[in-house]
Amino acid sequence: MTNLYRLADQRARRRIVSFERRELSRLLNLYSMRVATGEWRDYAIDFRPGMAVFSIFRHTAEQPLFAIAKVPGSNGGPYMVYNGPRKLAHGDTLEDVLRIFDRKLKLLLG
C-alpha cells in the first residue's frame, strides 16, 4: 500500500549546518588576503545535508582549489580542508585547519 510521510517530519530530521558569523568572517578574511595577492579569484558556499562547504577557486570555470568543510560530529574534528579528493587537514577549530594556509616569510636578496 501507500506510505504517507509528513513533510514537517522530514525537515526536522535534516540538520542544517552553516558557518557562524565569526567563522565566515575568518574565511572571508583569508580569502580577501589571497585575492589581493592574485592567487584566488572566486569562492562558493554550499550547504549540503549535515555539512557546510566554503570552496575556493583560482578560475571560476574550474574545480575548486580548496574546500573547507564543517561537518559536526565527524571523527578528527568538525573542520576539514580538502584539495580535490585529498584531505589536507582536520581539526577541532577552524583556526587549526586554516594554519595550512600560513606562509613562511622569504627573504629576497637583490
Q: Is residue 23 part of a domain?
A: yes
Q: Is residue 3 part of a domain?
A: no
Share of the chain above pLDDT 70, in %: 80
The answer to whether 65 touches 58, Cβ cutoff 8 Å, is yes
Residue 108 above 90 pLDDT?
no
Per-residue b or e along 40-50, where b marks 16 or more CB atoms closer than 10 Å to that residue's CB = beebeeeeeee
**pLDDT tens per residue across span 48-91:** 889 999 999 998 788 999 999 999 988 888 999 999 889 999 99
The parent domain of residue 34 ranges over 15-100
State the pLDDT at residue 107. 52
Q: Is residue 79 part of a domain?
A: yes
The answer to whether 71 touches 80, Cβ cutoff 8 Å, is yes
Q: Is residue 59 part of a domain?
A: yes
Q: Is residue 50 part of a domain?
A: yes
- Cα–Cα distance for residue pair 91/12, rounded to 1 Å: 28
The answer to whether 90 touches 77, Cβ cutoff 8 Å, is yes
Q: Is residue 107 part of a domain?
A: no
Q: Is residue 9 part of a domain?
A: no
State the pLDDT at residue 106. 55
Domains identified in the chain, total number = 1
State the pLDDT at residue 53. 96
In a 13 Å sphere around the CA of 61, the CA atoms on its Cβ side amount to: 0
